[in-house]
A and B are shown apart, each in its own frame.
Chain A
């Protein structure tokens, strides 16, 4: 009997949480925290991703996390501070297009100067990074990066020339 009463008391003490709650403090959005214009790194999927595109990146709806490119996807970045920067990019060479192109060679140009070559890339996802020679970046101004693939996939249906699937790119320390 006593154990029963104890159990009832215990159980009844376990729902002190009220049912209805006040409207909480309203948060204020901070859109200004995202880089105005372009920054040092971009990811497709970010709302302002299109602002980085200079050429050869196919248009998207704005919600994809990757985009198809043509042969020479070109992007712009703005680096504010000096330092030992590297250029980093993540992209994919799909098996389906690679069957036609075979191994692909990627060349990376920063402000029209070749900084790196990745030869004979197999199909699959790649995440690559190369140091950028000092003085090559235009600090606080636009720096243009061009990625060139030596072969493209040509679609039979519309003759679209597809280079790679680009996920992100930019300068990192």
Chain B
């Protein structure tokens, strides 16, 4: 029970800090409104401000439990002394009794489902890996640190900042509860907006359409950020709509803050910037109010951009790496990652409507079958307010096709739900909501949805109250949890673990270097592929022979464009009379693409290779500056069978004879790959049955130079032996 108290306390101090700060700011702005609106907007404004405070606490490394306990208390005291906690007397007219009861029953039932799951141990895929993995890391480090092995660390982390506060006291479930707060806040804000517009019944209907949507439920109870994102952009819309009516200057400041916060919560919500600025300019036709909004937004956006410029050489990392080349994330990876997110495993994009409403398997979650009626929302275009809602839906769904996961529809969902709820047949709408409630309950989903779709299973009070052991629940629900416990038990502080898949990092201390999450992880993955895969082994030599001549610069380049091909070189060597010229420390190397990795083609390791980060571009090359001229009569590129070689020419020596030879693979590639891991401060490997190298690791431990630490479930942990340990064993 003590744990529940800590979890609750972590949530309470975080929302209290946000609310107290929000009340201080809101009360100063002298904005009129009802009590409900004041509470909701104050909390959201405070969440933005408190998140920023925690950002700066992280920069100065002040992440201590005492700070996160004390600061909200101080803020609450100051707010009380300022009289900011006093709420407006104005209230909305009460809802009809039958509606209150209906909402109470349905909302209460789903509320129990949501609260129990939020309180239960955190098991979500992204929450247990990077959302809380990074939060846990920051808290261990007592502040924000650049984590260059994890591209998700480069995203804006506005909600994760609030998670840090909660996590410091109540750990994972506390953070999930903070996100769950937004799941309850969003429908309330929708209802407030609708009541102000004089549409309480459509407001209730729309709020329930969103609140009951299965993907909103599971996302909202997890340590994710999507419900918070949807809440913030809806608040931006509601405030713009309100400003349109009242033209209160203070509202513009809040709009600016929330626009900035929306960027801080999720990059894709940057669309709220042109949306808000455009709206204000369209209505006012003056620059000053636009600048007010922009300036307030900049306060919340700039810290993330500055952080990323300094830590990642890219203000908008991990995106736009072609504009801001950096050694941390490959452009090629970004291209492939975006392509993957834009398609998932769907055979056709026409499958999206059925996937996001019914099946829920391929796109991770479902909105509910009722949303197949979404086209009816177009009928709302008959009214001005409907046109506003549909405009907002278009804007906040505009980025959906960059990632077609169902949860990426959440920011636009409130607008769509309100537009649907405005249909001229209120009884039909309420009947639709009732059907939605039935179809959204977990037991109903089993009858029509894919069983592997992301969804809640049931009310889990035993897990929430820890009657059922947390360890047993996590082991059963999170496939990689058991191996993280083994890692925590055996991997000393400061050592790192390499894995081809994401692990439940939130539950272990050592850093996990995941193959696809960084340029460094990718380089190591290439080393392993080069040791094992026949098409990647350095069994191809392209030899350029020519009459001996003094050369100070040797350069190979591609002589044509080839949009789909990416070239690579394992090693580039120069010869005279059959003898390789030993590499001198005075030499310099250069590559026109992925320049910081050019050295991989000159390190004498046949498991590393330099990889261009762009497709073949005529003239792109790989160069060696020899300092002073040396007599050379042969240049050799060591490469692999997967590499095209026709079209790679020796610059300045057009008469060089080109010959391709196939040679046997060199011995010792497996160990060489492991040494690359050691050189990059990775001492352990976690591999899962089913990964292509799993059997080879086990069968060839001597060749890899590893020892098994243990097995948990389908995963195995190995330690990479140091060279002196291997020599000792051999003796």
Contacts of B590 in A (CB 8 A): 19-21
- Shortest A139–chain B CB gap in Å is 15
CA of A124 to CA of B19, assembled, Å: 65
The answer, yes or no, to whether B665 is at the interface (CB within 8 Å) is yes
A34–B667 touching, CB < 8 Å: yes
18 contacts between A and B (CB under 8 A): A14-B326, A20-B590, A21-B588, A22-B587, A22-B588, A22-B589, A23-B584, A23-B585, A24-B600, A27-B603, A30-B672, A31-B667, A31-B668, A32-B668, A34-B671, A41-B700, A65-B534, A170-B699
Is A63 positioned at the interface, with any CB of B under 8 Å from its CB?
Answer: yes
CA distance A33 to B315 in the complex (A): 45
CB neighbors of A among B593-648 (8 A): 595-596, 598-600, 602-606, 608, 625
Chain A residue nearest in CB terms to B602: A23
- Contacts A23-B584, A30-B671: A14 and B313 contacting too (C-beta < 8 A)? yes
Q: Cβ of B324 and Cβ of A26 under 8 Å apart?
A: no
Besides the known contacts A24-B602, A27-B603, A41-B700, 9 further A-B residue pairs in the complex with CB atoms under 8 A apart? A13-B309, A14-B313, A21-B595, A21-B596, A22-B585, A24-B600, A27-B672, A31-B667, A33-B703
Report the bound CA distance from A21 to B623 in whole Å. 10
B672 contact from A13, A29, A40, A65, Cβ within 8 A: A29
Tell me, yes or no, whether A159 is within 8 Å of chain B by CB: no
Contact of A30 among B324, B608, B675, B699 (CB under 8 A): B675
Report whether B595 and A19 are in contact in the complex, using a CB–CB cutoff of 8 Å.
Answer: yes
Q: Is the CB of A63 within 8 A of B662?
A: yes
B437 at the interface (CB under 8 A from A): no
Contacts of B700-727 to chain A: CB distance below 8 A: 700, 702-705, 726
Interfacial chain B residues near A16, Cβ < 8 Å: 313
A27-75 contacts to B (CB < 8 Å): 27-35, 39-41, 43, 45-48, 61-63, 65
Query: What is the size category of the interface that chain A forms with chain B?
Result: 35 or more
Query: Quick check: is B305 within 8 A (CB to CB) of the other chain?
Result: yes
Question: With an 8 A cutoff between CB atoms, is A10 at the interface?
Answer: yes
Chain B residues near A23 (CB-CB < 8 A) = 583-585, 587-589, 599, 602
Q: Which residues of B contact A35 (CB under 8 A)?
A: 702-703
Q: Does B664 have its Cβ within 8 Å of any Cβ on chain A?
A: yes
Per-position contact with A for B298-332: 1 when CB-CB < 8 Å, else 0? 00000001000100011100000001111100000
Using Cβ atoms and an 8 Å threshold, which residues of chain B touch A45?
Answer: 534, 665
B567 to chain A, nearest CB (A): 18
In the complex, whether A121 has a CB less than 8 A from a CB of chain B is: no
Q: Report A-chain residues with C-beta under 8 Å of the C-beta of B309.
A: 10, 13-14
Question: Are A40 and B699 interface neighbours, CB within 8 A?
Answer: yes
Is A120 at the interface (CB under 8 A from chain B)?
no
Enumerate B535-591 residues with CB–CB distance to A below 8 Å.
Answer: 539, 583-585, 587-590
Q: Is the CB of A33 within 8 A of B670?
A: yes
Of B325, B666, B700, B703, which is within 8 A of A17 by CB?
A: B325
Q: Which residues 99-143 of A have a CB within 8 angstroms of B?
A: none
Check B444 for interface membership: any CB of A closer than 8 A.
no
Which chain A residue lies CB-closest to B670? A33
CA distance A142 to B357 in the complex (A): 62
- Give the nearest-CB partner of B305 in chain A: A10
CB of A33 within 8 A of CB of B325, answer: no
B698 is an interface residue with CB less than 8 A from chain A: yes
Given A20-B589, A23-B584, A63-B539, does the pair A29, B595 have CB atoms closer than 8 Å?
no
Q: Which residue of B lies closest to A24 (CB)?
A: B599
Please give, as numbers and ranges, the residues of chain A lying within 8 Å of B585 by CB-CB distance: 22-23
Decide if A17 touches B605 in the complex (CB within 8 Å): no
* Residue on A nearest B698 in the bound complex, by CB: A172
Q: Contact residues of A with B, CB < 8 Å?
A: 10, 13-35, 39-41, 43, 45-48, 61-63, 65, 170, 172-173
Q: Which residue of A lies closest to B302 (CB)?
A: A6
CB distance from A23 to the nearest CB of B (A): 5
Check A29 against B315 for contact (C-beta < 8 Å).
Answer: no
Q: How many residues of B contact A (CB 8 A)?
A: 52
CA distance A21 to B700 in the complex (A): 36
Shortest A117–chain B CB gap in Å is 23
A18 to chain B, nearest CB (A): 8
- In the complex, A81→B315 CA distance in Å? 56
With the chains together, A22 CA to B703 CA distance in Å? 31
* Residues A63 and B534 in contact, CB atoms below 8 Å apart: yes
Bound complex: CA of A23 vs CA of B314, how far in Å?
27
How far, in Å, is B610 (CB) from chain A's closest CB?
A: 11
| CB–CB B666/A47 < 8 A | yes
CA distance A22 to B666 in the complex (A): 26
CA distance A170 to B671 in the complex (A): 20
A61 to B, closest residue via Cβ: B662
Say yes or no: A17-B587 contact (C-beta < 8 A), given A23-B602, A27-B605, A41-B699: no
Q: Are A26 and B583 in contact (CB under 8 A)?
A: yes
Q: How far is the CA of A18 from the CA of B598 in the complex (A)?
A: 12
In the complex, A39→B703 CA distance in Å?
10
Going nearest first, the 10 A-B pairs with the smallest beta carbon separation are: A31-B667, A33-B671, A27-B605, A24-B599, A30-B668, A20-B588, A30-B671, A31-B668, A41-B699, A26-B604
A27 touches B315 (CB 8 A): no
A161 and B7 alpha carbons, distance in the complex (Å): 71
A25, A63, A172: the one contacting B664 at CB < 8 Å is A63
CB pair A48 B667 closer than 8 Å? yes
- Most chain B beta carbons < 10 A, residue from A13, A21, A172, A173: A21
Q: How far is the CA of A10 from the CA of B298 in the complex (A)?
A: 14
Bound complex: CA A21 to CA B595 (Å): 8
What is the bound-complex CA distance between A32 and B729, given in angstroms? 13
Q: Please indicate the chain A residues that have their CB under 8 angstroms from the CB of B726 in the complex.
A: 33
B residues 476-494 in Cβ contact with A at 8 Å: none
Bound: A29/B702 CA distance, A = 15
- Contact present for B603 and A33 (CB under 8 Å): no
Kindly list chain B residues whose C-beta atoms are within 8 Å of the C-beta of A25: 603
The reply to whether B664 and A62 contact each other, CB–CB distance below 8 Å, is yes
Residues of A close to B583: CB separation below 8 A: 23, 26
Given contacts A13-B309, A23-B587, contact A29 B666 (CB under 8 A): yes
Contacts of A39 in B (CB 8 A): 700, 702-703
Q: Closest A-chain residue to B597, C-beta based? A: A21
Measured between C-beta atoms, what is the minimum distance from B44 to chain A in Å? 27
A14 to chain B, nearest CB (A): 4
Cβ of A17 and Cβ of B327 under 8 Å apart?
yes
Q: Given the known A-B contacts A22-B585, A47-B667, A65-B534, are A17 and B602 also in contact in the complex, defined by CB atoms under 8 Å?
A: no
| A63 contact from B596, B665, B700, B702, Cβ within 8 A | B665
A34 touches B313 (CB 8 A): no
Please, which residues of chain B bring their CB within 8 A of the CB of A10? 305, 309, 315
In the complex, the answer to whether B666 meets A21 with C-beta atoms within 8 Å is: no
From B599, B604, B671, B699, name the one whose CB has the most chain A CB atoms within 10 angstroms.
B699
List A contacts of B662 (CB < 8 A).
61, 63
Closest residue to A10 on the B side, CB-wise?
B315
Residues of chain A lying within 8 A (CB to CB) of residue B675: 27, 30
Are B314 and A14 within 8 A (Cβ)? yes
Closest residue on chain B to residue A42 by CB atoms: B699
